[in-house]
A and B are shown apart, each in its own frame.
Chain A
Amino acid sequence: EVQLLESGGGLVQPGGSLRLSCAASGFTFSNFPMTWVRQAPGKGLEWVSFIGGSGVGPMYTDSVKGRFTISRDNSKNTLFLQMNSLRAEDTAVYYCAKCIDSRCYFDYWGHGTLVTVSS
């Protein structure tokens, strides 16, 4: 059974940093691209970042470029999102999601971790 378990969310002041983790199990992690998707309270879904199975081709939505870094440790089946220079508008539930294959549709999602940026 595929499982994705996010951790690392919490309350942080504007300008601060957080590192999210997503522990994966139930599939060959290194074979699949992974993404982060976020959802602000009461709002819709927003794609944040993508990384290929071998770690190639990180991609980001414009609003996080230069502030967020996606990475993965295939030896530990874990996906990461390093978030720096956090802003109030980054407040959201952050989901990690597995791509179905090289076509990045999201077939499995974690339960999400809440990041709140506030003073």
Chain B
Amino acid sequence: ETVLTQSPATLSLSPGERAALSCRASQSVSNKLAWYQQKPGQAPRLLIYDASNRATGIPARFSGSGSGTDFTLTISGLEPEDSAVYYCHHRSNWPLTFGGGTKVEIK
């Protein structure tokens, strides 16, 4: 099983700042990684797939990078509505797995 480890657990930043969220895989997943955003009481929303492709309708301030075992989700210019938990997910092999999540708080 490929374990995805996300850091930090919580990130507290002010509006307009840049957030960098990390996802590290226990073995290479190539570029087969996605990022999701989940707000309280809501289903997750796909942000990024294949490590760096924005999903339909996702603002340009969200970007993804990385390959192999190290990946980063960057949110440039935080907005108050970006307060949420962010999860990475790989599809490289079975079982599919998610990271434990990073909570982004907006001060």
Residues of A within 8 A of B (CB): 35, 37, 44-47, 50, 59-62, 95, 100, 103-107, 109-112
B44, A110: Cβ atoms under 8 Å? no
Query: Which of B32, B34, B101 is close to A44, meaning CB atoms less than 8 Å apart?
Result: B101
B95, A106: Cβ atoms under 8 Å? no
A95-B43, A109-B44, A110-B43 given; A103·B98 CB < 8 A: no
In the complex, which residue of chain A has the Cβ closest to the Cβ of B100?
A: A44
A105 surroundings in chain B (CB, below 8 A): 34, 46, 49-50, 89, 91
Query: A106 to nearest B CB, angstroms?
Result: 6
Question: Counting CB contacts under 8 A, is B96 at the interface?
Answer: yes
State the main secondary structure of chain B at its contact with A. Answer: loop
What number of residue pairs across chains A and B have CB atoms under 8 A from each other?
Answer: 59
B95 surroundings in chain A (CB, below 8 A): 47, 59-62
B34 surroundings in chain A (CB, below 8 A): 105-106
CA A37 to CA B36, docked complex, whole Å:
13
Query: Which of B32, B56, B91, B98 is close to A46, meaning CB atoms less than 8 Å apart?
Result: B98
CA A45 to CA B89, docked complex, whole Å:
9
A109 surroundings in chain B (CB, below 8 A): 43-45
Query: B66 to nearest A CB, angstroms?
Result: 16
- Residue among A35, A104, A106, A110 with most chain B CB within 10 A: A106
Known: A44-B85, A107-B56. 20 other contacts (CB 8 A): A44-B101, A45-B44, A45-B87, A45-B89, A47-B95, A47-B98, A59-B94, A60-B95, A61-B95, A62-B1, A95-B44, A100-B49, A103-B49, A103-B50, A105-B34, A105-B49, A105-B50, A107-B46, A109-B44, A110-B43
Question: Counting CB contacts under 8 A, is B55 at the interface?
Answer: yes
